[in-house]
Chain A
Amino acid sequence: GAVVSQHPSRVICKSGTSVKIECRSLDFQATTMFWYRQFPKKSLMLMATSNEGSKATYEQGVEKDKFLINHASLTLSTLTVTSAHPEDSSFYICSASQLVGGYNEQFFGPGTRLTVL
């Protein structure tokens, strides 16, 4: 149980285009999902907390107009990178939170590799 998927697994796009990444909790409902960005051989940087039915909470320094997050249902959150540029190229990982034994545990998706040409 507690499986999280991401789609696509990798995407290559031209500079100036927008890219949507989906994060789904396959066998549980997640009121909260998280989006992370990871640079090569670096740690995960939390970008935002996505709450079902409400606006996302962005971490300091993350452009909310650049990285649009929508959590329309209890099993789906989307991250849209708008007007992508080469510096947006990165590995994006989502996680979904589930209450397990009295605490909230995160389950991670497999990640999406974005390359902007």
Chain B
Amino acid sequence: AQSVAQPEDQVNVAEGNPLTVKCTYSVSGNPYLFWYVQYPNRGLQFLLKYITGDNLVKGSYGFEAEFNKSQTSFHLKKPSALVSDSALYFCAVSGNTNAGKSTFGDGTTLTVKP
């Protein structure tokens, strides 16, 4: 079975400060890891993914994430937060079976204050 944990329901940062949204995972075999963002009443928007290769992955809107195999983590980061980054963020993991069936974390609400 695969699982994802996002230990923080809420993350608050000031605009201009760096942000981190945490994610740890559990999966058999090699993990495929994803971050998505969701704005109110909207679908999921893809931010970035780790499949293989460099542990530091760069994605949309200045976000990046670091894959750490020993800690089974895939934390989302951004050097300088914007108010417009305020949204709900989901981490997801899949293996290479079941046609890519993904398991999502519970989500973390990011609030960036001016």
Could you list which residues of chain A lie within 8 angstroms of chain B, going by C-beta atoms?
A: 6, 31-32, 34, 41-44, 46, 49, 91, 93, 95, 97, 101, 103-106, 108-111, 113
Interface SS of chain B: mixed
Point out the residues of chain B lying under 8 angstroms from A93, CB to CB.
43-44
Closest to B103 in A: A46
Does B94 contact A106, Cβ atoms closer than 8 Å?
Answer: yes
Does B107 contact A104, Cβ atoms closer than 8 Å?
Answer: no
Does A106 contact B51, Cβ atoms closer than 8 Å?
Answer: no
Does B51 contact A103, Cβ atoms closer than 8 Å?
Answer: yes
Does A108 contact B101, Cβ atoms closer than 8 Å?
Answer: no
Interface SS of chain A: strand
Total inter-chain residue pairs, C-beta < 8 Å: 56
Does A42 contact B107, Cβ atoms closer than 8 Å?
Answer: yes
> Does B84 sit within 8 A of A, measured CB to CB?
no
Could you list 22 examples of A-B contacts with CB < 8 Å? A34-B102, A41-B88, A41-B107, A43-B105, A43-B107, A44-B90, A46-B101, A46-B103, A49-B101, A93-B43, A95-B102, A97-B100, A103-B32, A103-B100, A104-B100, A105-B32, A105-B100, A106-B100, A108-B44, A110-B43, A111-B43, A111-B44
Q: A-facing mask of B82-102, CB < 8 A → 1, else 0?
A: 000000101000101011111
Closest to B36 in A: A108
A10 to B: closest C-beta gap in Å: 9
Point out the residues of chain A lying under 8 angstroms from B99, CB to CB.
31-32, 49, 97, 104
Please give 9 more A-B residue pairs, beta carbons under 8 A apart, in addition to A44-B104, A103-B51, A108-B43: A31-B99, A34-B102, A42-B107, A49-B98, A93-B44, A101-B51, A103-B100, A106-B102, A108-B44
Shortest beta-carbon contacts, A-B, top 4: A104-B100, A32-B99, A110-B43, A111-B43
In the bound complex, how far is the Cα of B109 from the Cα of A109, in angstroms?
A: 21
> Does B66 sit within 8 A of A, measured CB to CB?
no
Closest to B45 in A: A108
